[in-house]
Amino acid sequence: MTRLSVIPEQDQPTSNSPALVIDGVDMVFSRAGHAVHALNGIDLNVKEGEFISVVGPSGCGKSTLMKLVAGLRAPTNGRISILGEPVSGPRADVGIVFQNPVLLPWRTVFENVMLPTDILKLDRTKTEATARDLLALVGLGGFEDAYPNELSGGMQQRAAIARALAYDAPILMMDEPFGALDAMTREQMNVEVQRIWQASGKTIIFITHSIPEAVFLADRVVVMSARPGRILKTFDIDMPRPRTLDDMVSNNFGDYVKEIRALLGSGTEGGQNDAQSNW
Ligand X SMILES: Nc1ncnc2c1ncn2[C@@H]1O[C@H](COP(=O)(O)OP(=O)(O)OP(=O)(O)O)[C@@H](O)[C@H]1O
Which residue ranges make up the site for Mg ion (CB under 5 A)?
63, 99
Beta carbons within 8 Å of 75's beta carbon, 6+ residues apart: 25, 26, 27, 39, 68
Closest residue by Cα to residue 20 from 172, 236, 128, 124: 172
Residues 54 to 113: which contact another protein by CB under 8 A?
67, 70-72, 89-92, 94, 96, 98, 100, 102, 104-106
DSSP code, position 124: H
The verdict on 60 binding ligand X (CB under 6 A) reads yes
Identity of the residue, 83 or 102, whose beta carbon is nearer to another protein in the bound complex: 102
Q: Is 136 in the site for another protein (CB under 8 A)?
A: no
Q: How far is the CB of 99 from another protein (least distance, A)?
A: 9
- Give the three-state DSSP class for 172: strand
| Among the listed residues 116, 177, 267, 271, the single contact to another protein using CB under 8 A | 116
The residue count for binding ligand X (CB under 6 A) is 14
- Select 29 or 147, whichever has its Cβ closest to another protein: 147
In the bound complex, what is the minimum distance in angstroms from residue 148's beta carbon to another protein?
Answer: 8
Q: How far is CA 238 from the centre of its chain?
A: 20
Could you say whether residue 64 binds ligand X (CB under 6 A)? Answer: yes
The span from the CA of 67 to the CA of 125, in Å, is 31
Could you say whether residue 202 binds another protein (CB under 8 A)? no
| Distance in angstroms (rounded) separating the CA atoms of residues 239 and 31 | 43
- CA nearest neighbour of 205 among 36, 34, 37, 63: 63
List interacting residues with another protein (CB under 8 A).
Answer: 67, 70-72, 89-92, 94, 96, 98, 100, 102, 104-106, 115-116, 118-120, 147-149
